[in-house]
């Protein structure tokens, strides 16, 4: 079977081995990029939203403590401190949301680059096959 493939593509065994290794590397890179893409496009935004929602809930509880007449002065101060921290975290999350967008753009760029590399490899194979056909004539 292997010899039939070599003859049909006019490839030497070394070229066939290199092509097989390259194909495996391209497949593994594609799989890694797909996993990263899923992580960036699906899991990160979900976790981001969970953090925002959790901070909103903590803010509500903090304001309830601060506004509760039966809370001691110490508890009110701790509630205000908690509220202050929550606002800092919210600001950090909302201003650093650009990081998520940049990560998505990075993954898209890598996918585009990978597709370009595969096209170049196929073009090289076609050219080598054409050269081998010309030599055989």
User: What pLDDT is recorded for position 74?
Assistant: 94
Q: How far apart (Å, rounded) are the C-alpha atoms in residues 124 and 33?
A: 24
Would the pTM of this model clear 0.75, i.e. be above it?
no
Burial class of residue 86 (count of CB atoms within 10 Å of its CB; 0-12, 13-18, 19+): buried
Spans of all domains in the chain: 47-117
pLDDT tens-digit profile of 42-101?
788 888 889 999 999 999 999 999 999 999 999 999 999 999 999 999 888 877 766 666
Residue with tokens 């590399």: 117
Q: What are phi and psi of 12, to 5 degrees?
A: -80, 160
User: What pLDDT is recorded for position 26?
Assistant: 84
User: What pLDDT is recorded for position 6?
Assistant: 46
């Amino acid at each position: 079977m292997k010899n039939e493939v070599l003859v049909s593509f006019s490839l030497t065994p070394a070229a066939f081995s290199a092509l097989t290794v390259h194909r495996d590397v391209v497949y593994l890179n594609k799989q890694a990029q797909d996993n990263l893409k899923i992580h960036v496009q699906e899991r990160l935004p979900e976790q981001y939203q969970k953090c925002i929602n959790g901070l909103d809930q903590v803010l509500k509880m903090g304001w309830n403590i601060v506004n509760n007449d039966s809370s001691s002065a110490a508890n009110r101060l701790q509630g205000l401190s908690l509220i202050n921290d929550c606002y800092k975290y919210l600001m950090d999350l909302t201003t650093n949301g650009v990081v998520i967008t940049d990560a998505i753009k990075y993954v898209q760029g890598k996918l585009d680059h990978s597709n370009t590399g595969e096209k170049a490899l196929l073009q090289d194979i076609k050219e080598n096959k054409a050269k081998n056909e010309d030599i055989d004539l």
